[in-house]
Structure 1
Amino acid sequence: MTDYCSLVESETARLAELATGADPAAPVPPCPGWTLADLITHVGSLHRWVLHIVETRRQEPIWPHQVPNGLAEGQRGDPAWLVAGARELVATLRATDPDTPVWAWGGDRRAGWWARRMLFELVIHRCDAELAVGVAPVVAAPIAIDGIEELLDSLPHASWVTKQLAELGAEGATIHLHAGDGEWTLTQGPAGRITWARGHAKGDVAVQAPVSDLLLMLYGRRSPDGLTVHGDRAFLDRWLTAASL
C-alpha cells in the first residue's frame, strides 16, 4: 500500500525548498494572477483545512476559507509555516484509522481519501512552483500513474467539472492515454460524468507520452503540443479546458 503520508512530507519539503530563497512575487505560469507566495499560502491553508476535517471527524461540507490558517493578517508565502502545517496534518492522518468516516468532496468519504488527495494537490503545486522558478517538472512514474487514476476517479464527483463537461455535448466520446507505463481510456458519459478503464483501446483522440507528461497534461500544466496526438485534437483541447480541476 502506498505510504501517502510519507510522500506528503517529501513533496512538502520540496515545495518549501523551492520557495526558500526564491522571489515570493514570482508569477506562477499555470495559475494566472498567482505569485509564488500565493501558491505557498494556498497549499498551507489546504493542509489546515484537511487537518480540521479529519481531526474533528467533520461530516458536513466546509470550505478552506472557513478554517483559520494561523497566518497573521497580510502574511503570505512562509515556507516554515507550510512545513509546520504539513507535519501536523500528517501526524493526524497517521493517528486516524483510514476508514474513519469524514466529509470529502470525492466519492470515498473516509479519512484515507484525504491522504491520497493531498498528495496530488502537493505534486501538482510543487510542479507549479518549479515552473515559477524555471525548473522543468517531472513526476516519478509510479506516482504519476496513481495520480492519473486518482484524478479520473475524482472528476465525476467534481460538480464544477461535470457541468463544464456536459456543456461539450460530447457524450460517448473517448480519449485514449498511452504511456510506456500504462494505458487508459476515458469515456464521456451522461451529465458530464466520465468513466475510465485501463488497457489498450481506440479513442476518438489518443495521446502518447511519458506518464509524467500525461499527468501534467490532464492537470493543465503541460500542453499537448510536442506530444504524439492522433485523432481529434480540437476535441482534446476543449475537453482538457473543461476538465480543469
Structure 2
Amino acid sequence: MTDYSSQIDRETSRLAALAGDLSVPVPTCPGWTLAELVTHVGQTHRWAAHVLRDRVQERIWSKQVAGGLPEGASGDADWLRAGAAELLDTLRATDPATQVWTWGPDRRASWWPRRMLFELVVHRADAELALGIEPEIDAATAADGIEEYLHNLPYAAWVTRPLAELGVEGATIHLHATDADGEWTITQGPAGKITWERGHAKGDVAVRGPVADLLLVLYGRRSPDTAEVFGDRDLLDRWLATTAF
C-alpha cells in the first residue's frame, strides 16, 4: 500500500520552503499570488481533516471550515505546516474504511490521502514554476497522479458539465509515458463523463513525453508543446482547456 502520509509530509515541506516572498504571482493559477496558493492548500488540509475527524456524510465546502486565520488574512509557511500536521494526525487515527463524504467515487476515508497528495504535488509545481524552478516529480508518483486524476474526473461536475457541451463524445486521447511503464487511453463518453484504461492503443490524438510532464499537461500546468503530439491537436487543446483544475 502506498504510504501517502509520508509523501504528504515531504510535499508540504517542499511547498513550505518555497513560501518566502508570498507576493510572487502564480501564472498557472491566474489571479493568485503565493499567498493565495499557500492559503488554499492549508485550508484544503483543514477541510479534509474536518471531514475525517467529524465523519462528515454530506457535502461541505472548504470555506465552511475554520482555518484559524483572521478575516482576510493569508497563511504562511508555518500555518501551512500546522494544517498538514493536523491532517496527518487525523489520517493516521482514521480507519481507511470509515464512511465519509468525498466528491469522488469512493465514499471512504481512504480516498482523502491520495487526493491531498496530488493537491500538494500540483500546487508545489505551481509555486516552483512561479519562482522559475523546474518542477521535479518522481515518475512513480506522477503515474499514480495521472490515474488519480482520471479516477476522479468523471465525478467533477464542474468539469463534466462543460465537457458535455464540447460535442466530442466518442473521441479518444492516448497518453504515452517515455520514462515509465505507463500508457492510458481516455474515451469521452456521454453527459461529459469519461472512461479510461491502461495499455497501448491508438487515439484520435496522442501525447508522448515524460510522465511528470503528462501529469502537468493534464492539470493545465504545462503546454502540450513540452511533449510530442500526434493526431487531432484541436481536440486535445479544447479538451484540456475544459478539464484542467
Show structure 1 runs of 5+ residues with no match: none
Measure how far apart 1:77 and its partner are. Answer: 3.1
The total of aligned residue pairs comes to 243
SS in 1 for 2:175: strand
Distance of 2:21 and 2:166 partners within structure 1: 39
Which residue is 2:200 aligned to? 200
Distance of 1:54 and 1:243 partners within structure 2: 27
Q: Deviations over 1:126-148 (max 9, x none)?
A: 00110111101121100000000
Distance of 2:132 and 2:228 partners within structure 1: 24
1:52 to 41, 50, 53: 50
Contact 2:213 2:226 in 1 (8 A): no
Query: What are the equivalent positions in structure 2 for 1:191-230 lying under 5 Å apart?
Result: 191-230=191-230
Contact 1:187 1:194 in 2 (8 A): yes
Which residue is 1:77 aligned to? 75
Q: Deviations over 1:65-113 (max 9, x none)?
A: 1111001233213100100110111111011100100000000011110
Match status 1:93 vs 2:63: no
Contact 2:69 2:75 in 1 (8 A): no
SS in 2 for 1:176: strand
SS in 2 for 1:172: coil
Distance of 1:211 and 1:222 partners within structure 2: 12
Query: What are the equivalent positions in structure 2 for 1:2-21 lying under 5 Å apart?
Result: 2-19=2-19
SS in 2 for 1:76: coil
SS in 2 for 1:225: helix
Distance of 2:137 and 2:107 partners within structure 1: 27
**Quick one: which amino acid aligns to residue 74 of structure 2?**
R
TM-score by length of 2: 0.98
Distance of 1:132 and 1:76 partners within structure 2: 18
Query: What are the equivalent positions in structure 2 for 1:10-159 lying under 5 Å apart?
Result: 10-19=10-19, 22-159=20-157
TM-score by length of 1: 0.98
Measure how far apart 1:227 and its partner are. Answer: 1.3
Measure how far apart 1:226 and its partner are. Answer: 3.2
| Percentage of pairs with the same residue | 66
Distance of 2:148 and 2:226 partners within structure 1: 25
Show structure 2 runs of 5+ residues with no match: none
Measure how far apart 1:179 and its partner are. Answer: 0.7
